[in-house]
């Protein structure tokens, strides 16, 4: 599948030039003035809009993929929203939010480590090792690349996140670790990840995390 068809690319390169073919995919689906967008007009392409358009494109490709059975096809599509077989697979590996420790399943999102739209196969999209259970705020930070996890399971925080916003979100410990307050304790670490999880996290650190 071509990059233009999958939306595959380095998510953290926010200021990089957009390939023309990707631009055509995005603008063809969006409800705004394409000419103004092409010339740097006032239209706003938010993360949610762009990600949704690219994921829709990937989903259409999955629906037309005759190499997949109907059962797998539907499971992969549900996995886009952290549902179905993917969530069950993640819950078999994870039992709480890595940042907050919350265990109530009703408060947790099954989040892909390697984003759904960037996965290359159905197996990657359904792999429980390619997922974490996170609260909505933690999921947003992780999905946007504002946090990630190091090789030693240390929590990494992007320089683009304001410490006051972290504290307002309730991540006091992240703010302390990232900005070195006087009372800062040892670096915050979560429980160790499996080797399979670490392979996906290496991708997240390289391609998604905004360092």
Pick the more confident residue, 172 or 104. Answer: 104
**Residue-level pLDDT at 139:** 96
Question: 49 exposed, middle or buried (CB, 10 Å; 0-12, 13-18, 19+)?
Answer: middle
How sure is the predictor about 82, in pLDDT bands with cuts at 50, 70 and 90? very high
Partners of 155 in beta bridges? 149
**Residue-level pLDDT at 211:** 82
**Residue-level pLDDT at 15:** 45
pLDDT above 80: residue 169:
yes
pLDDT above 90: residue 113:
yes
**Residue-level pLDDT at 47:** 81
What percent of the chain shows pLDDT beyond 70?
72
Measured over all CA atoms, what is the biggest interatomic distance in the chain, rounded to whole angstroms?
59
**Residue-level pLDDT at 202:** 98
pLDDT-wise least confident of 11-25, 39-53, 181-195 = 11-25
């Amino acid at each position: 599948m071509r990059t233009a068809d999958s939306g595959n690319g380095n998510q953290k390169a926010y200021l990089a030039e957009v390939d023309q073919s990707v631009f055509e995919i995005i603008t063809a689906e969006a409800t705004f003035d394409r000419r103004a967008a092409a010339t740097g007009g006032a239209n706003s392409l938010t993360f949610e809009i762009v990600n949704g358009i690219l994921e829709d494109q990937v989903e259409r490709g999955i629906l037309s993929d005759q190499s997949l059975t109907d059962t797998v096809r539907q499971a992969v599509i549900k996995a886009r929203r952290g549902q179905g077989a993917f969530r069950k697979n993640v819950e078999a590996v994870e039992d709480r939010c890595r940042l907050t420790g919350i265990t109530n399943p009703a408060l947790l999102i099954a989040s892909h480590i390697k984003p759904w739209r960037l996965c290359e196969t159905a197996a990657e999209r359904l792999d429980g090792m390619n997922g974490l259970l996170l609260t909505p705020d933690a999921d947003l930070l992780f999905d946007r690349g504002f946090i990630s996890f190091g090789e030693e399971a240390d929590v990494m925080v992007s320089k683009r996140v304001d410490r006051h916003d972290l504290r307002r979100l309730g991540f006091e410990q992240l703010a302390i670790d990232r900005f070195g307050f006087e009372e800062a304790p040892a670096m915050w670490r979560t429980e160790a990840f499996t080797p399979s999880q670490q392979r996906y996290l290496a991708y997240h650190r390289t391609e998604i995390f905004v360092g």
